[in-house]
A and B are shown apart, each in its own frame.
Chain A
Amino acid sequence: MIEVKNLFLQLGEFNIKDLSLSINTGEYFVLLGPTGSGKTVLLESIAGLKSIQAGSIYINKEEVTGKKPEDRNISICYQDLALFPHMRVKDNIKYGLRFRRDTNTLKYEKNFEILIELLRINHILDRYPVFLSGGEKQRVALARALIVDPDILLLDEPLTALDSGMKATIEEELKNIHETLKITILMVTHDFKEAYYLADRVGIIKDGSIMQIGPIEEVFEKPTSICTADFVGMKNLLKIDELKKKPVFEVLLKQIENSAEFIGIRPENIVISNKIIDDCCSIFGRISHIRNNGIYREIDISSHGVEFKAYLTANSYNDLQLFKGKEVFFGIDISRVAII
């Protein structure tokens, strides 16, 4: 379990301000944030690699704030993997074992066997890192981090440098590792798709502050701030005051509290049809722009001066025979509208 309480850290002009975070034992927690939001700094603070100016860090209820990195039993895997180039793969993996205070060599030997089996790296043990592919390097870095039985595994954008095919494979392996070893994982990334697949819970970080924490579906469907909504891909952020001026949108604003300023609708939650849609609130509009993204189409619909964005699969797009300027109906499930 990780508990960060009121963390404060200043690095030049960048600040982490009064940041608190709690991650349960065995949880896969993903911290999402844009570049420069303080994700890596937070990981390094938890690992003891950055000195903090105020606040406290607890690992399994024990305060580790003043402890050195080597005394925290936390492993870190960086985006660039940082494999030791002068050591063969097996020496990289076993590097941490020479510093273990307990002399249970049998346990660590077993860890080694389990990890090379789990990560399928038996055939590359005698190679130097320079002769490994991106995916192999990633697996070696994971094995090296896990062999020492860390309480926490910190992952700093572990999938960013991989191509899409390898990304999917390593994602699968990360999930497998988490399920098999039951280890607490804190991963940071800027890609919300990775979070969607891997995370039990997510947190959104921006400018050194946590904006929202919650189960993945909640953060994605019901963001509590414009910044979070924007970051998790909620493309339709509509100002309530503007919508109120057009009676046609009254149906969208039925359950809205007075204090709310915006509503948010995920583009994949908008249904397009050539006729009125019965089951949800149906609005009339005209297609203003179509963008082909390969596996899906991004459709902009203009309705009474308000722009909506929807995603359609290529099949649905073809079935509906859509084109720029076509008049369509689009439906929105009111229960999935986020109030911000």
Chain B
Amino acid sequence: MNRKRTESLFIVSFITGTIIMLFCIYPLISTLFWTEPGVIFDTFKDKQVLQSIYLSMGAATITTIVAFILGVPFAYVLARKEFRFKSLVESIVDIPIVIPHPVAGICLLTVISPRSWTGQLMEKAGIEVLGTVAAIVLAMTFVSMPFLINAAKEAFKWVPPRMENVSRTLGASHTQTFFLITFSLAWRDILSGMILTWARAISEFGAVIILAYHPMIAPTVIYERFTAYGMMYAVPVAVILIILCLIMFIILRLLASTRREGESI
């Protein structure tokens, strides 16, 4: 007699999980098989496509680095310190997640447009942002930085402050403690946050298109080809972007999930 028993709630979970998996994977697979491999290969040789993909990846990488440099120290203070209006500060961090991305683009445009005082200031300093890679990075950073800050904040929270206390009493300065203990224990989760940030940045379209239609990032090329020529010309570019993003995503995920023997908090 089979004594194994499966709780009915798990059966429901399994069914909903299957629906979600299909919902995520089926459109991707469908896209991959929409077009001929030969067409994809030809698209790979298209200079405009390649440039847009390089630009997307490059801008997303710069965005991730900027978000890391600015976000990690800020996340540390959010994880460790209680202060007045902390909830308000945390809510402000999350604002870019909740506002529609074209709106985010408009908001940024009001800041860098030559009609704004900041835009005029930049113009006088000879700094050109609109329609440049800087504008793309700006838009990507705005919409994706909350992912890194929130991931780093949670990662730091998981490191018990008492470990830092012990380290301090053993002679390490605050900075030494941060790098040797706190960051050493949190870096994998921060890396996961960086992956999310990068993924969010490379997929950004709505905010970028407001600030910089040119130079074109990959989503802009896909959009342009779709509106001008239809699916047949848009899909091969989409397939290439999907493949490259998945490869990058898998490599980074593997890196973030490898733990040394015995390592856990």
CB-CB under 8 A for A95 and B160, given A70-B173, A84-B181: no
- Assess whether A49 is in contact with B165, with CB atoms less than 8 Å apart: yes
Using CB atoms and an 8 Å cutoff, list the residues of chain A in contact with chain B.
Answer: 44, 47-49, 68-70, 72, 74-78, 80, 82, 84-86, 95-96, 98-100, 127-131, 144-145, 148, 150
Interface size class of B (residues with CB under 8 A): 20 to 34
Q: Say whether B171 faces chain A, with CB atoms less than 8 Å apart.
A: yes
Using CB atoms and an 8 Å cutoff, list the residues of chain B in contact with chain A.
Answer: 160, 162-163, 165-174, 176, 181, 184-185, 260-265
- Assess whether A85 is in contact with B167, with CB atoms less than 8 Å apart: no
Residue among A86, A100, A127 with most chain B CB within 10 A: A86
- Assess whether B166 is in contact with A86, with CB atoms less than 8 Å apart: no
- Assess whether A74 is in contact with B169, with CB atoms less than 8 Å apart: yes
Neighbour of B170 across the interface among A48, A85, A130, A148, CB < 8 A: A148
CB-defined contacts of A76 to chain B, threshold 8 Å: 165-166, 169
Shortest Cβ gap from B174 to chain A (Å): 8
CB-defined contacts of A85 to chain B, threshold 8 Å: 185, 262-265
CB-defined contacts of B160 to chain A, threshold 8 Å: 80, 82
- Assess whether B185 is in contact with A144, with CB atoms less than 8 Å apart: no
* Measured CA separation A70–B224 after assembly (Å): 60
The contact sample of 20 A-B pairs, CB cut-off 8 A, is A44-B165, A49-B165, A49-B169, A69-B168, A70-B171, A70-B173, A72-B169, A82-B163, A84-B181, A85-B185, A85-B263, A85-B265, A86-B263, A95-B170, A99-B172, A99-B173, A127-B262, A130-B262, A144-B166, A148-B171
CB-defined contacts of B171 to chain A, threshold 8 Å: 70, 96, 98-100, 148
- Assess whether B169 is in contact with A75, with CB atoms less than 8 Å apart: yes
- Assess whether A47 is in contact with B184, with CB atoms less than 8 Å apart: no
- Assess whether A47 is in contact with B262, with CB atoms less than 8 Å apart: no
* Measured CA separation A31–B172 after assembly (Å): 27
CB-CB under 8 A for A99 and B169, given A80-B162, A85-B262, A86-B260: no
Shortest Cβ gap from A79 to chain B (Å): 9
